[in-house]
Chain A
Amino acid sequence: MSSNKKYWKSVEELNENSSIVETLQQNEFVNEIPTDEFLGNKESLEASSTTRRDFLKYVGFSTAAASLAACEGPVIKSIPYVVQPESIIPGVANYYATTIANGFDFASVLVKTREGRPIKIENNNLAKTHNGANARVNASVLGLYDSLRVKSAMKDGKDILWSTFDTETNQKLTDLKNAGKEIVLLTQTYASPSTSKLISEFKEAYGNVRHVVYDAVSESATLDAYEAKYNVRGMASYDFSKAMTIVSVGADFLGDWQGGGFDAGYAQGRVPKDGKMSRHIQFESNMSLSGANADKRVPLTPSQQKQVLAKLYSLVVGGSVSTDLPQHIDQAVQKAASELKRAGSNGVLVTGIQDVNAQTVALAINESLGSKAFDPSTPILTRQGNNNAVAKLVADMKAGRVGGIIMSGVNPLYTLPNAADFTEGLEKTELSISFSMKADETSSATQYIAAAPHYLESWGDVELKKGHYSLMQPAIRTLFDTRQFQEALLKWTGNDMSYREYIKETWGTGILSGSSFNKALQDGVYVGSIATEIEDTADAVDASEVSDEPAPATSAGSAARALASSAKSEGMELSLYTKVGMGDGQQANNPWLQEFPDPITRTSWDNYLTISAADAKDLGLVNEYEATGALNGSYVDITVNGVTVKNVPVIIQPGQAKGSVGLSFGYGRTSGLKEEMMTGISAYPLYQNFNTAQSVSITKAAGMHEFACVQLQNTLMGRGDIIKETTLEIFNTYDREDHKYGWNKVPKVSLNHEETPVTSPEVDLWDEFDRSIGHHFNLSIDLNSCTGCGACVIACHAENNVPVVGKEEIRRSRDMHWLRIDRYYSSEDTFAEDDTKKEEFSGLTGDKGSLGGFAELEIAADNPQVAFQPVMCQHCNHAPCETVCPVAATSHGRQGQNHMAYNRCVGTRYCANNCPYKVRRFNWFLYAQNDEFDYYMNDDLGRMVLNPDVTVRSRGVMEKCSMCIQMTQKTILDAKRDGRVIKDGEFKTACSAACSSGAIKFGDINDKESEVAKLKENDRMYHLLESVGTKPNVQYQTKVRNTTEA
């Protein structure tokens, strides 16, 4: 209803002739609107010919034009070679044999290159001598494409030309020579015949030259002991495949003990053959890979380890020592000794105690046993560092007695415990040069940074073991304006040769004895008969001058006594160790390694203090889970001899010896790496006197640390069908289906009240497809030979372009690893007891009630059994993921692979929810070319490592292990092209090729003669969660533990 009411806005309106009303009718605002203020510069506005309407027109037009232009496909340019190199065919991979020798990792490897770019490291199977490529070596290819590499020679932080560098350094070196001042070469262990020769030539040319070899993580004690006994600075080699009884006192020989690379031999002896397998007893304080694989593990503190070793010596070799070991340890030592003695030449003892006496005793025990696994005649040469020489150098530098220092492959300002002294000394030198790939802690402090090439751009040679040589050759032209140390030495000594020619000459005269250099280069390895001269660096040390340690005992007997009586430590004892993922820390800027979960703690992006549950309780330290499933831990401050490291996060580690703690090297880098990679705490300040065992005091600090841990369920909860395991005795005595002792029973379900194996077709929901035609791939994983080293995880990363997601995402359980290695602890003393405990639950409450019982089962034992289980997509023949995909993005191939069509996936994640193995990974974000994830896929250089045969996934799609279908397809295509049948062993996946211990085997089960077909018929074979009836194409071989005590 309309109203005739009139509303007056003001009194003025009543007056009909009011001028104000009239004015207001025309002009709403009485005062002039200050448009000039917000329209800015009036002049320029007036000068502009663009009116508001024009402006809107432009906006409209450009929006329309932009959207129209977006409809056009991009124009893609293709630029062929002008002159195509004969060896390169676009789309076909080339392989080159080379060697990594970065001072910490030494291995003969193959480099896969595509269109001239190295994209993957693989094992060189011709290298019979030493070790396969571990996780770090596999990841090292990414270091080549590190965007933070030094790109040319630098002086005081500015780029200079190499010619300038040459003139200036030559002048300074000559000045130093004429002034009679000392020039020091401080290098990593090169173990390189040609480099040794070059350095002696340099010494000749410049007179007063000292060469000091420095290993960040020292094996000096081992070298000293070996040198005292055998007059060569090296380390005895061990072949664990020949040992039936292995006793290790604090030696993580499956990790990086004495350079590592012993796992392949060890794994061979672990597979039961003719009812026999090796027995492994481990005495250690930290839970290490070796301890996790041991049949019997005795946790004890580092000082107790010394006593154990002394006692073992007295029991095995003779003599008497007095020890005060607790009774249970004493008994364990007695038993170990008797087992060793019984094994005789089949036994071997190793120790990781950084003490000359301990190493002397170990050599003596092995010699006395006549151990077949122990080979002192061909020493390993990949560690040459000398603690005393380094200590003396630092002292001399500090005293100003060193004129110039040239460093290569070392980072003492990060790795030296007394880095401050070194800095002080460095300032007193007249010339300091650092050959380095990065502006790291040390090279930022030197006058010159000589940009060094990556090993994939370098020439080199390595004598891994005496008489066992390996060659390094570039797989790509240097990406930047770099020069390797040896080339510079050649220049300084006035030699016009290239380093390649120099190596060829050295080899031609000294090593090859008539064999072809090119053949050796092609193979990458060469076993010679003539031993080359090992450079004598002994002159660098005057033992009496610096040695503040007790002089090494002359005989093993007195060494053992010295060991037994060595000082007991007060308070907590710290064992410093290296992690499989990070080593000594030189690859800290490698996102693959940062994200690699530690095999034991399953924690990535961090190092931490490992502590036993009891000690943690005493100190009030906790590990907590957040609601999101992320792990948090307390902080502590650690003090060693007045040096305090603050805010070290704590992880409570089952199996950690009471009274001991562990901390790993390699973290806490501050310079030459991206901010994301500056993780963890540096343990080097605590590495005093290069001794890994330190007495520490620990105090709790405030706050909680956020960990990125990928596995929070640490125990198996008595579910013995996940990791099936048995003892050697039962394995040898009983049938797998034995009613009582059956150790690998096929699960049964009830069909018409009859027990029917789940494998029989009557109880299957699905129809069986005929898979007898063509290839049918199976992957077999032997839980006995898998040491948990994780090389496969990195190999999978490299082969399949698996993205790095970063710490925050890992905390949200969004890790992308296609292949994970689950690690389980037992809750009781053994997994078998867990199973029994679960079986015996009755009722909800009470002593055997399941409510409390399951809670107890979640807590790992103080000294648990440990099992590793690599889990990737199981490629189920009856796959639960396939049936729930609404768009059929995942489907099954005839060859047994579960396919994943990324372009079809719409990201419902039903498949991941329906997967009983939890192996599917979802791309929550775009991980490539995204500034939020500034890892290698975010820069042009880093993306060079991508495998061009595998799609880089985008946001919103599911991904998972493809069983390396690109590799199987390539093998098939090669055979088709040659018109031949495929032989067994040709089919490979990235993980099976990377597994040097032979735990992962891959092949075609329709080829009845293939290894994997035979493994499928093996008694030990079982499928993961067989009762679900998914019929996986991944098999596991039951773990057998040798618990037989002699």
Chain B
Amino acid sequence: MIQVIYRQLASKIPYLGLVILLTFTTSLTAQEGDPAKGKTLYNTNCAACHQLDRKMTGPALRNVEARLAEEQGLDREWLNKWIRNSAGLIKSGDAYANQIYNEYNQVAMTAFPQLSDQDISDILAYTAEPKAEPAPTPGPDTGGTGGQVEGGISNKLILGALAILFALLAIALVLVRQTLNRFAEEKGVEIAAQDKGLPIWKAFVKNQFLVLVSVIFLMLASAYFVYGYLSQIGVDQGYEPVQPIHYSHRIHAGENGIDCKYCHSSARVSKHSGIPSLNICMNCHKSIYQVAEETQQMGIDEYGVDYNAEIQKLYKAVGWDEDEQQYTGETQPVKWVRIHNLPDFAYFNHSQHVSVAGVQCQTCHGPVEEMEVMYQHAPLTMGWCINCHRETNVKVEDNAYYTKIHEQLSKKYGVDKLTAAQMGGLECGKCHY
């Protein structure tokens, strides 16, 4: 037998290994894509309907490629087809495609023909990343609160120390005085008794004029305060009730910049601004089932509110089954506490102010976009209404209704711009009927 000695084998194996390794690695890199890029792409294209770890409009996508390969024996090719044109795949009669289609209420996935192979790889790489362990409670936060507590204590300490110091001082003074008196007594020094004269209050009582003046003054002052007290009865400025669902205007109108009239749409056409019905909340909250972690933490720290739990309250009220992603039909209407209350005899119409006059919501409702909890900003008194009517110009531009009356009235009053008052906005019957 011819013995072949692979003398170089030993030396070649590493090379081969390297080559194989290299090929494999490169190919792996090409296949896996870049999870960072993938994340960006995922958030732009997929996140509206998919979550990594839970079912939404579409299925959860964590390890989707591996899962498909394992469970259905479907390859990347199939995924590419599905992503680029799911409807086509369903039409072609593909079994799994149809199964998914039926499982998700026969809503076909939006086609993404613009995604390149590389893009898809990137996204899949992102979905293949292992689930991040819940981050430990951030240290700095605890430190922060601890610091605050410490600050509080130190302030108190300083104050306490000062108090003790003053007390000591006072005691020292008393002691000094006692000692001096004792000395004086022992030495036989007479302390001349001061001629006390009339005590001041007796002098005051004797002076009838002063008494009269001060009584009048006191009466006027108390009348002033009584009047002030009485006129704030029923004025609920600053009224900030606890609502059944902790709804943060700060997050919605402020951070997310949602237009007021997106939710309070009837303010445009009706006397009521309308409390949004829950189906309006669900327009967004169907897919926003939890807030970002930082927001959640901030809610707990600053306002003591678990935002995610509040979203769950909404789901409960509207009867949304998160797992099945459908409405159960069991609703529990939310009983909001009404904040802005005009008396029945005052007629106020939102559409007049919002649509016709173009008044900003904030003019009357205050910085709603900064309010974590909604409160009544304006006093909503008649004087407050009237002041505004006196000062505010009527928005007559591009409104054919005003053309004639504006021309006539501005001639009459000799002004360019008419205030609501000049337009007749102070007449009793405009608001009271």
Binding site for B on A (CB under 8 A): 71, 73, 75-84, 89-92, 770, 772-774, 889, 891, 893-895, 897, 899-904, 949-952, 962, 965-966, 969, 972-973, 975-982
Contacts and interface: CB of A to CB of B under 8 A. Distances in A.
B116 interface: no
B400 A979 contact: yes
A973 B335 contact: no
Contact of A903 (B233, B337, B345): B345
Contact of B352 (A76, A903, A904, A976): A976
Contacts of B241: 75
Given A891-B428, A901-B429, A951-B433, A773 B405 contact: yes
A926 to B, nearest CB: 14
21 contacts: A78-B338, A80-B275, A80-B278, A80-B333, A774-B408, A893-B429, A899-B433, A900-B429, A900-B432, A901-B345, A903-B345, A903-B432, A904-B428, A904-B432, A949-B271, A965-B433, A966-B433, A973-B351, A976-B401, A977-B269, A978-B401
Residue of B241, B277, B341, B405 with most partner-chain A CB within 10 A? B277
Interface string B371-410: 0000000000000000000000000001111111100110
B67 interface: no
A972 B241 CA distance: 36
By DSSP majority rule, is chain B's interface helix, strand, loop, or mixed?
Answer: loop
A893 B429 CA distance: 7
B424 A893 contact: yes
Interface in B224-264: 233-234, 236, 241
B236 A82 contact: no
A893 B427 contact: yes
B347 interface: yes
A90 B272 CA distance: 7
Contact of A966 (B270, B319, B347, B427): B347
A83 B266 CA distance: 15
A981 B404 CA distance: 9
Contact of A951 (B266, B345, B424): B345
Nearest to B267: A91
A897 B424 CA distance: 12
B345 A80 contact: no
Contacts of B280: 84
A882 to B, nearest CB: 11
B430 A969 contact: yes
B368 interface: no
Interface of B: 233-234, 236, 241, 266, 269-272, 274-280, 317-319, 331, 333-338, 341, 343-347, 349, 351-352, 355-356, 398-405, 408-409, 412, 424, 427-430, 432-433
B335 A77 contact: yes
Contacts of A899: 427-429, 432-433
A79 B355 contact: no
Nearest to B427: A893
A965 B338 contact: no
A8 B240 CA distance: 74
B236 A976 contact: no
Given A75-B241, A901-B429, A975 B401 contact: yes
Contacts of A81: 277-279, 333
Contacts of B399: 976, 979
> Most chain-B CB neighbours within 10 Å: which of A77, A770, A950?
A77
Contact of A82 (B333, B356, B400): B333
B277 A774 contact: no
Contacts of B269: 89, 92, 977
A239 to B, nearest CB: 40
A965 B433 CA distance: 7
Contacts of B234: 73
Contacts of B351: 973, 977
Given A80-B336, A899-B433, A966-B347, 8 more contacts: A91-B271, A900-B428, A900-B432, A951-B345, A962-B429, A969-B347, A973-B351, A976-B352
A982 B346 CA distance: 25
A83 B282 CA distance: 10
B345 A965 contact: no
Nearest to B346: A903
Nearest to B354: A977
A981 B424 contact: no
A930 to B, nearest CB: 17
A973 B354 CA distance: 12
B35 to A, nearest CB: 41
Contacts of A891: 427-429
B266 A773 contact: no
Nearest to B349: A973
A354 B402 CA distance: 60
A591 B378 CA distance: 43
Contact of B356 (A951, A966, A977, A982): A977
A80 B398 CA distance: 35
A901 B428 contact: yes
Contacts of B277: 80-84
B336 A78 contact: yes
A904 B431 CA distance: 12
Contacts of B279: 81-84
Given A76-B341, A773-B408, A951-B433, A82 B352 contact: no
A229 B94 CA distance: 76
Contacts of A91: 266, 270-272, 274
Contact of B344 (A79, A894, A951): A951
A497 B300 CA distance: 57
Contacts of B409: 773-774
Contacts of B266: 89-92
Nearest to B333: A79
A92 to B, nearest CB: 5
A982 B352 CA distance: 16
